[in-house]
Amino acid sequence: PKVITLPGDGIGPEVTAAAVQVLREVAPDVTLEEHALGGGAYDAHGDPFPARTRDALAEADAVLLGTVGGAHDSAWNKLPRHLRPESGLLALRKALGCYANLRPVRVQPGLEHLSPLKPELARGVDILIVRELLGGIYFDGDRQIEGDSAYNTMRYTTAEVERVAKVAFWAAEQRKGRVTSVDKANVLEVSELWRRDVQALRDREYRSIHLNHEYVDSVAMLIVADPSRYDVIVTENLFGDILSDLAAVIPGSLGLMPSASLGDGPGLFEPIHGSAPDIAGKGVANPAAAIMSVGMLLRHGLERPDAANQVDRAVALALREQPTRDLGGQADTRTFTRAVMRALG
């Protein structure tokens, strides 16, 4: 099998190098091919999602991404929107057809103290957020800024709702069997459709799943006040962007948060943290999330659950033995990666 790596910007190359080292170890038969994406790709090729990168996807079984983007005041952010690093990422998602973004939020036993929440609230949290990734207000072509007025359109079709809801139900079947669908149906028509279609699909094809519906404002509260009430959360693109980042603070470090984006073609696997330009190139970035993304790649991209479990266990061990600086420890990127490699072999 072939994996395309897209190290990207900032700390992306460092954490991807660590992840690649782990991937080579547990899946030596995988072919790796590196390509450009993001700000660096724009600098080199005039396009944050160059044609050569796009073409390479055709042969990929999975894609491993680092991070894209620069500092707040970076020159990249002054480019026209379609040339900015983020546009490269959005175009990549679109090209891959990855409509379901899976973000597991798990508080590792023994690491409760890292959470901003009280330990008794953080303990045992294990949520999977399934975010719709190709629809809604992100991609709809009916958008405009002109003079003193601007708008965007949040649109969904039944087909878009159903395909992502299926992923959520399928995931819940392998977990506690509970799905919370999040919307703003008391105000938005597009949420009314969402709620109706998720419920109809459950009633038609997933009767063993316990489904409930909650409003996005209420979920934003409860995910902090009582995170253990959630198993799988499924929601549309913009709400998912907000809620998945919110939930990601519960474990206490973004350095621990991998993600998988799945669709009809090859999956996209990436840590959810940003490019952290302030520490880029210093060798201190925590590569745990990138390595955990390799775990998700093995599980969902290459269907190798045993290798995935191996990676997950090795990361958990290394986190206890060699915590990185963001976790209050001392380990730099290399030391942590070495601890993972040791735990693997």
Ligand X SMILES: CC(C)[C@H](C(=O)O)[C@@H](O)C(=O)O
Interface with ligand X, residue 241, by CB under 6 A: yes
41 vs 344 by CB, closer to a second copy: 41
Interface with ligand X, residue 186, by CB under 6 A: yes
**CA atoms of 18 and 288, how far apart (whole Å):** 9
Residue 254 · residue 290 · CB < 8 Å = no
Residue 70 · residue 77 · CB < 8 Å = yes
Q: Which among 53-61, 85-93, 283-291, 299-307 is the span making contact with ligand X, rule CB under 6 A?
A: 85-93
Q: Give bridge partners of residue 5 from the DSSP assignment.
A: 34, 64
Q: Annotated catalytic, 184?
A: yes
Interface with ligand X, residue 187, by CB under 6 A: yes
* Joined tokens for residue 293: 């993304």
Q: Annotated catalytic, 217?
A: yes
Q: Which among 86-94, 122-130, 192-200, 224-232 is the span making contact with ligand X, rule CB under 6 A?
A: 86-94
3-state secondary structure of 316: helix
Contacts with ligand X in 191-230 (CB under 6 A)? 217
Q: What are phi and psi of 2, to 5 degrees?
A: -120, 130
Catalytic residue among 43, 55, 203, 217: 217
Binding residues (CB under 8 A) for a second copy: these are 81, 84, 86, 90, 116-118, 121, 137-138, 140, 142-145, 148-159, 184, 186-190, 192-194, 216-218, 220-221, 224-225, 238-239, 241-246, 248-249, 254
Residue 273 · residue 257 · CB < 8 Å = yes
Q: Annotated catalytic, 78?
A: no
**Residue whose CB is nearest to ligand X in the complex, by number:** 86
User: Strand runs (DSSP E) across 208-308, as ranges?
Assistant: 210-215, 232-235, 258-263, 267-271
Catalytic residue among 184, 206, 312, 326: 184
CA distance to 247, 323, 337, per residue, from 329 (Å): 23, 5, 14
Burial class (CB in 10 A: 0-12, 13-18, 19+), 48: buried
**CA atoms of 161 and 47, how far apart (whole Å):** 31
Min dist. Cβ of residue 265 to a second copy (A)? 23
Q: Annotated catalytic, 148?
A: no
Which residues are known catalytic residues?
138, 184, 217, 241, 245
Binding site for ligand X (CB under 6 A): 86, 89-90, 186-187, 217, 241
Residue list, annotated binding site for NAD(+)? 274-286
